[in-house]
A and B are shown apart, each in its own frame.
Chain A
């Protein structure tokens, strides 16, 4: 291989790496924004991170493993996502709490230029009014994100949780 060919090849590798890093950075930013909106109680902005027909589900791992569809939250489209938040704010009763999300192990597969599947682990630490913090839910996100005019958005976000016994209740999405 000539020096010129080698240099071209390095340029190509660099370009690929930069594209991949840029994509990773954009997806990571989306996830950080998602987590931040929930953990800082800006839930009215939560539906905006989904496409208009975006699907959000929280499903226990025991059902997901058996291919069974039922979970504890299923929102089909932004109107249902917004209804969830309106109900949480105006109708439902629950103990005041905060969430802190920890995520790790972000992996992704590019399906086409504007469609990516991604997965990551999450842990939600919940603090209740007695002042104690505890692991409320551990699980894994299975997401499909698409590039839109507003940036990357969730077309589907499925939180598959390991912590099958939900402690008392779940009001706030994870």
Chain B
């Protein structure tokens, strides 16, 4: 008993909750995908820690007073465009009794009023009004030492890069610019090289841990095997030219798939007798897979994760930012925000809508991702100390793996970064 008390008073949780047997990120205890204790620690050390969480595109809140309700991890947050055109974000929790203030997904408002006692706040979350602050006819009311300046909403540090809005709870986190870093910024520079229009969002809810999705987007090995649409209709094969890039801390990464003609006609698949290869299937309407040139380099897929809440993607002409939100240890929500460029022709806009078929909850090339993450979640119930393994390419150099789809290098880098951040 005495030991436990000492540990609690020392700031709790000094003991590791979970043991990673290797330092190279290749072995992950399955428990990390379901533990409630780990989940709580993630809220503290990641989402309320030194990271920048993605909130919205500036195109979603273009006008003064525009707002959008969203989350940083579990914490409900509202992002707003203030009267001066700046950006703000505050925890959606009244400073008085803690009630949810903003109850709509998005809108425009000069002030935000809590319905419980009608305390009102401005777009930046400063307290502006307290009904009956001076009581009635001078009796009761707030004490003399009550200063509204000390009772605003909890405000987050907000910044945007190329029209993408991020926030952090940490005053001393590095700047957003540095957080994204030199390895990641070029990917965002390319996707957001000109002004964008927001085209709507779709939401997918998965009964699996949010880190399983982190694994998924960093794993090029699964793409052509799980997503049979790729190989069936000859879009992506193991021989396709790709590039993976990661940040120094391991947490961010991108995967670029270049347009490559497969001269062998899928011989590698026939030889391996893969079930995902079916010869002779063709789409009737191949315009679904057109890639109208709009970037310097012919890229079919670009999938870029900015840890912990953003995945920015280009799939042919479909442009999407996905927001990943944990919902307890065993669920996550994935929101796909579609966009186009403001100078799109009507034909290009139609092409983007058409290719919305490829991604999202009914995405022809992506619907299986949540199936796979759920199969892992269900398969690892009560797994005790069992470990997942990610050894593909472990002997190969970073440079070699950078060009290979048959590699789990970015998955291993992610887990190293995660362990570092979590102190595990």
Contact = CB atoms under 8 A, between A and B. Distances in A.
Interface of A: 58-60, 62-63, 66, 68-77, 79-80, 82-84, 86-87, 90-95, 164-171
B347 to A, nearest CB: 13
A168 B338 CA distance: 19
A82 B283 CA distance: 9
Interface in B206-257: 206-207, 226, 228-229, 232-233
Interface of B: 105, 198-207, 226, 228-229, 232-233, 276, 278, 281, 283-285, 288, 333, 338, 349, 353-354, 356-357, 360-364, 367-368, 370-371, 374
A111 B73 CA distance: 50
A70 B354 contact: no
25 contacts: A60-B202, A66-B200, A68-B199, A68-B200, A70-B199, A70-B202, A70-B338, A71-B202, A72-B361, A74-B353, A76-B285, A76-B354, A77-B285, A79-B284, A80-B284, A80-B288, A91-B232, A92-B228, A92-B229, A93-B367, A166-B204, A166-B205, A168-B206, A168-B207, A171-B362
A76 B350 CA distance: 10
Contacts of A79: 284-285
Contacts of A165: 203-205, 333
Q: Which 6 A-B pairs have the closest CB atoms?
A: A68-B200, A70-B200, A63-B200, A79-B284, A166-B361, A79-B285
Given A79-B284, A80-B285, A92-B228, A69 B202 contact: no
B229 A91 contact: yes
Nearest to A63: B200
Contacts of A91: 228-229, 232-233, 276, 278, 281, 364
The prevalent SS among residues of B at the interface is mixed
Contacts of A86: 281, 283
Contact of A69 (B199, B228, B229, B276): B199
A68 B357 contact: no
Q: Which of the listed residues B198, B367, B368 has the most CB atoms from chain A within 10 Å of its own CB?
A: B367
B202 A72 contact: yes
B371 A93 contact: yes
A75 B288 CA distance: 10
Contacts of B353: 69-70, 74
Contacts of A170: 361-362, 367
Contacts of B363: 72
A90 B232 contact: yes
Given A69-B200, A76-B285, 9 more contacts: A71-B200, A91-B232, A91-B276, A92-B364, A93-B226, A93-B368, A165-B203, A166-B205, A168-B206
Contacts of B278: 90-91
A53 to B, nearest CB: 12
A60 B105 CA distance: 14
Nearest to B278: A90
A10 to B, nearest CB: 51
Contacts of A75: 357
Nearest to A173: B362
Contact of A168 (B205, B232, B276, B281): B205
Contact of B201 (A70, A73, A92, A95): A70
Nearest to A68: B200
Given A90-B278, A165-B204, A168-B371, A71 B356 contact: yes
A151 to B, nearest CB: 24
A58 B362 contact: yes
Contacts of B285: 76-77, 79-80, 83
Given A91-B233, A170-B361, A171-B362, A63 B371 contact: no
Contact of B354 (A74, A92, A95, A168): A74
A70 B351 CA distance: 12
Contacts of B357: 73-75, 84
Contacts of B371: 93-95, 168-169
A168 B200 contact: no
Contacts of A62: 105, 200-201
A168 B370 contact: yes
Nearest to B283: A83
A160 B362 CA distance: 15
A136 to B, nearest CB: 11
Nearest to A93: B368
